[in-house]
Amino acid sequence: MTGRLLIAGAGIGGLALARALHSSGWSVEIAERAAEFKPLGVAIVIHPNGMRALARLGLAEQVAAAGNVVRHMEIRRAGAARRLGLPEVWAGVEWPTISILRPELHRILIDGALRSGGARLAMARGVAAMERTAAPPRVRFIDGTADDYDLVVGADGVHSAVRGSIDAAAAAVSTGLFYLRFATRNVAGLADDVWWTTERADGSYGFIPLGAGRAHCFVQVRSPTDELIAAAEQDEFIARFDPAEPALSDALAARVGSIYRHLAYMVRPVAWGRGACALLGDAAHAVSPTLSEGGSLAIEDALVLARFLREHHPVERALELYRAARQEPIAWAHRMSLAQVAAARRGRATAWTIDREAAVAHMREMYEPLRRDPLLALSLPDERV
């Protein structure tokens, strides 16, 4: 089946789906709530599974050229460090880990979806609610208009309006972790291929290299609300976090652009949609930023959903196959996220109790199911129906 398809949200997952459906026979429209595109963050890490998914879309080379290869993760605790090789963690996946500025990734995806993919984009036309989920689903937009489609896909983020109107049981739940993020000049002397994190009992901070003398700085602390922090000056907050951390204060002084401040949320339980309405990416299953997998999982969702839609199954059958194919890796990612959030909320260990090899093995296990190609994994009985 083909017809009119509405994608709610022009973020990573929505644009990836539009690109994946190029020349599929579907007439793809993207409805974006914002009146203009503005950066929604500083940078993003795309692990090898996400780069593999981008390669399927024909965009991996562009992303790699615009980004920076990260080969090592160095985790520091109580003055001791463990340097983990990311190629060891992701052995068997041919792509590297890439760090890239979010606006650069967004630019590449927009070009791939709109200029090369043929989708149509309407700004300031976000989805307000679903008035009907059964075929044909009916959408009410924020401008007061309404329209019918053959399929609606909610890719409108962790606070999804589409999910909110079709699945009251699934909600954005605060992790109790608050983040500050900003771009900075690389005043910490960070190697271009090393992402390092300092873990403390009361939080963590670190730097992700972006190349060309730039870095992404992040700070994570436990906080039940953003009200106090939002009311404080950023400098004052960083000083309260630890005025004795010279790398952090130096990076703050050398920052470039805005500081992004937000609570981290997860969607619980996972929601896949209803009737002729599907959800993907953060709208369906937002995970904690500690896993660095939100963007990659959204792109994988888009590839799998597009695969079943291209096979011209009836819409509801295609969505059933999509859910079945994505349930296992997403459930795993959620379990890993919850474990990391629990560790961060109770306070991490202040000293290392395992050696480097054991730390690599632990991280490899954490990402194990995500190393599998989600399209090659579709050799299921359902696929042949």
pLDDT band at 229 (very low <50, low <70, confident <90, very high): low
How far apart CA 71 and CA 192 sit, in angstroms, is 9
d(CA 348, CA 200): 6
Under a CB-based contact definition with an 8 Å cutoff, are residues 177 and 341 in contact? yes
Q: Which residue has the tokens 């929601």?
A: 271
Contact between residue 277 and residue 133 where contact means Cβ atoms under 8 Å apart: yes
Q: By the 8 A CB rule, do 275 and 131 touch?
A: no
pLDDT value for 380: 45
User: What pLDDT is recorded for position 113?
Assistant: 95
Residue 235 pLDDT > 70, yes or no?
Answer: no
The identity of residue 211, as a single letter, is G
Specify which of 87-101, 104-118, 201-215 reaches the highest per-range mean pLDDT. 87-101
Query: Which of 373, 355, 369 minimizes the C-alpha distance to 80?
Result: 355
pTM above threshold 0.85: yes
What angle is formed at CA 217 by the lines to CA 212 and CA 223, rounded to 5 degrees?
165
pLDDT at 244: 63
pLDDT band at 252 (very low <50, low <70, confident <90, very high): confident
Provide the pLDDT for residue 344. Answer: 86
pLDDT digits (tens, 9 = 90+) for 16-72: 999 999 999 999 999 999 999 876 679 999 999 999 999 999 999 999 999 999 999
For the ranges 22-26, 277-281, 368-372, the one whose mean pLDDT is highest: 277-281
Bridge-based pairing state of the strands 138-141 and 127-132: antiparallel
Domains of the chain by residue range: 4-73+89-173+266-384, 174-264
Write down the CATH superfamily of domain 4-73+89-173+266-384.
FAD/NAD(P)-binding domain (3.50.50.60)
Mean pLDDT of 102-118: 91
pLDDT, tens digit (0-9, with 9 covering 90-100), for 257-276: 888 888 899 999 999 999 99
Tell me whether residue 205 is exposed, middle or buried, using C-beta atoms within 10 angstroms of its C-beta: 0 to 12, 13 to 18, 19 or more: buried
Sign, CA dihedral 220-223-226-227, equals negative
Q: What is the mean pLDDT of residues 311-330?
A: 95
Beta-bridge partner residues of 273: 278
Q: pLDDT digits over 181-223, tens only?
A: 999 999 888 899 999 999 888 788 999 999 999 999 998 888 7
Q: CA torsion, points 153, 297, 257, 73, in degrees to nearest 10?
A: 180
Per-residue pLDDT, 381: 41
Of these ranges, 84-98, 194-208, 247-261, the one predicted with the greatest mean pLDDT is 84-98
Mean pLDDT of 315-338: 96
Give the amino acid at 136. Answer: P
- Three-state SS annotation for the chain: CCCEEEEECCCHHHHHHHHHCCCCCCEEEEECCCCCCCCCCCEEEECHHHHHHHHHCCCHHHHHHHCEEECEEEEEECCEEEEEEHHHHCCCCCCCEEEEEHHHHHHHHHHHHHHCCCCEEECCCCEEEEEECCCCCEEEECCCCEEECCEEEECCCCCCHHHHHHCCCCEEEEEEEEEEEEEEECCCCCCCCEEEEEEECCEEEEEEEEECCEEEEEEEEECCCCHHHHHCCHHHHHHHHCCCCHHHHHHHHCEEEEEEEEEEEEEECCCCEECCEEECCHHHHCCCHHHCCHHHHHHHHHHHHHHHHHCCCCHHHHHHHHHHHHHHHHHHHHHHHHHHHHHHHHCCCCCCCCCHHHHHHHHHHHHHHHHCCCCHHHCCHHHHC
**Between 385 and 273, the higher pLDDT residue:** 273
Is the pLDDT assigned to residue 226 strictly greater than 60? no
| pLDDT of amino acid 248 | 84
pLDDT score of 312 more than 60: yes
Q: Which pLDDT value is given to residue 39?
A: 66
Give the pLDDT mean for 354-372: 94
**Highest CATH level, class, for 174-264:** alpha beta
Looking at residue 311, its amino acid is: E
Establish how many alpha carbons lie within 13 A of residue 317's alpha carbon, considering only the half-sphere containing its beta carbon.
11
